[in-house]
A and B are shown apart, each in its own frame.
Chain A
Amino acid sequence: MIEAKSLTRRYGPLLAVDGISFQVEPGTVLGFLGPNGAGKSTTMKMLTGFLAPSSGTAVIHGHDIRTDSLQARRQMGYLPEGAPLYGELSVERFLRFAAEVRGFRGTAVGQRVTAAADRLSLGEVMGQTIETLSKGFKRRVGLAQAILHDPPVLILDEPTDGLDPNQKHEVRRLIREMAADKIIIISTHILEEVDALCSRAMIIARGRLLADDTPTGLLARSRYHNAVTLVVDDLETAASRLGALPESREVEVRRGQLTIFPSSQGNLFEAVTRTIQAEGWQVDQLQLEAGRLDEVFRTVTDSAEAA
């Protein structure tokens, strides 16, 4: 379990992380969401022992990062932002270094390196110098280094940043595969990733924890949660007719789409479908919205800006 207790970090007068507290259980993929400069990376740097907190602390599987940093770091695999690597070394030499520094000796080194390389399909580039690799391969080398000792905690700072869609898909698959018994914390500003990957999401802005929920829970905060969007031939008539329903609170016409927002009573979707059938409208699209994460993100972070 990870327990962060009022983690705070100042850079001179700037308060980068402002008293963040949370607990994470194994089997969780936790996503840190937030605008650039929100304090996501700084929080990760404190968890991994790179930066000392100005105040507060965190406990990683029983090891306090302030008083027992070495043991705490042994529990973790870390992919720093941008996946920095020793570019002059070959992939194999670098991964051997990572294995040795993690305490493996003798034949165990080779086994660990091979296993991690297989997992990230690095076989063909093992002998290549890291700085000659493509961005996708570099990121995979960084991930291989992080998972090599099969740590119970993985902290990945923007693991899919700069990858092409296929590579993103691969990395997400890998994270999902490992998620069952580990604590995985990823940071991202790609909202779809939260939905695709995380079992829990935190929105961080200006160093503060603004929301801590499941992705579904976050979606439920959206104005669009349970709204109905449709494309219909006569938008004007449909808008006024559907807007008058007691189940509807508000309608919005945008780019040829009509969105009806639910009021607190009844089932809007049913009411809309009933009206469509009764009126005999020609409907091209009809959709019940789960909510829009980008809208939740904007609302939550904007309120932080205003505060």
Chain B
Amino acid sequence: MNNLGVILRRELASYFATPVAYVFIVIYLIMSAAFTFYLGAFYEREIADLEPFFRFHPWLYLFLVPAIGMRLWAEERKSGTIELLLTLPVTPTEAVLGKFLAAWLFIGLGLLLTFPIWVTVNMLGNPDNGAILAAYLGSWLMAGGFLAISACLSAATRNQVVAFILAVVVCFLFLLSGLPMVLDVFRGWLPQAMVDGIANLSFLVHFSSISRGVIDLRDLVYFGLVIGFWLAANRIVLEMKKAD
């Protein structure tokens, strides 16, 4: 794992050497603020918490995280640098994790930069800052889940647009599996246990409790497993498709 950090730093250097970093962060901040104040009715609610801010994160990530993740491997394959990277003395695990962590930290940075909203809510009232911290953590974990999916699908193609669309679709399915419109389809003919199982795959279900500040170990484990599963898949897809 000596080279994990080396790969991570190189990736981060690339983000900030291109407009990717700045465009992402600016759009992310503008969109999250717009959702919070207009759709979330932050002021009108007259409650000192950040629920209207976190409520829209799954939908924001649905498009922004695949936009970050789509380039992870597709770009390397397109430009041929994948051949350079994978013939250096790095293990596939180091490469997969290094790239993932760099992107995840980068999204984390975007999340941190939303701190003015936290300052605002503290000026306006006395929110439960523990709950807010928990929600930030949960939001970051959920972003990790979206990112792992996007990274894996990025390894499957050399075309970034294809990678983006595939990632949005798969992320969307993971989001939706907890909504009544999906569950109702199954409710009529599947046993309740299986319907619960499908609902349990949903990012929304797991995020909703965290976003209210309730940290349940099961939710953390869930996101951990999602990330682990998709990164393992990423390694396998990379091995299969790298030479195509």
Contact = CB atoms under 8 A, between A and B. Distances in A.
Contact of A76 (B80, B87, B90): B87
Contacts of B80: 80-82, 84
B243 interface: yes
Contacts of A100: 3, 6, 9
Contacts of B86: 49-50
Contacts of B6: 97, 100-101
B81 interface: yes
Interface of A: 11, 45, 48-51, 70, 73-74, 76, 78, 80-82, 84-90, 93, 97-98, 100-103, 129, 145
A84 B79 CA distance: 6
B23 interface: no
B109 to A, nearest CB: 18
Contacts of B18: 88
A125 B83 CA distance: 24
B17 A101 contact: no
13 contacts: A50-B87, A51-B243, A73-B89, A84-B79, A89-B10, A89-B17, A93-B13, A97-B6, A97-B13, A100-B3, A101-B7, A102-B89, A129-B17
Nearest to A149: B89
B158 interface: no
Interface of B: 2-3, 6-7, 9-10, 13-14, 17-18, 79-81, 83-84, 86-91, 242-243
B81 A101 contact: no
A80 B88 contact: no
A45 B243 contact: yes
A82 B83 CA distance: 11
A87 B17 CA distance: 10
B89 A48 contact: no
Contacts of A103: 2, 89
B88 to A, nearest CB: 5
Contact of B84 (A49, A85, A88): A85
B4 to A, nearest CB: 11
Given A80-B87, A100-B6, A101-B3, A88 B79 contact: no
B83 A45 contact: yes
Contacts of B79: 84, 87
A93 B15 CA distance: 13
Contacts of A84: 79-81, 83-84
A90 B13 CA distance: 10
Contacts of B7: 101
B17 A88 contact: yes
Q: Which residue, B2, B3, B17, B91, has most C-beta atoms of chain A within 10 A?
A: B17
B89 A74 contact: yes
A97 B3 CA distance: 10
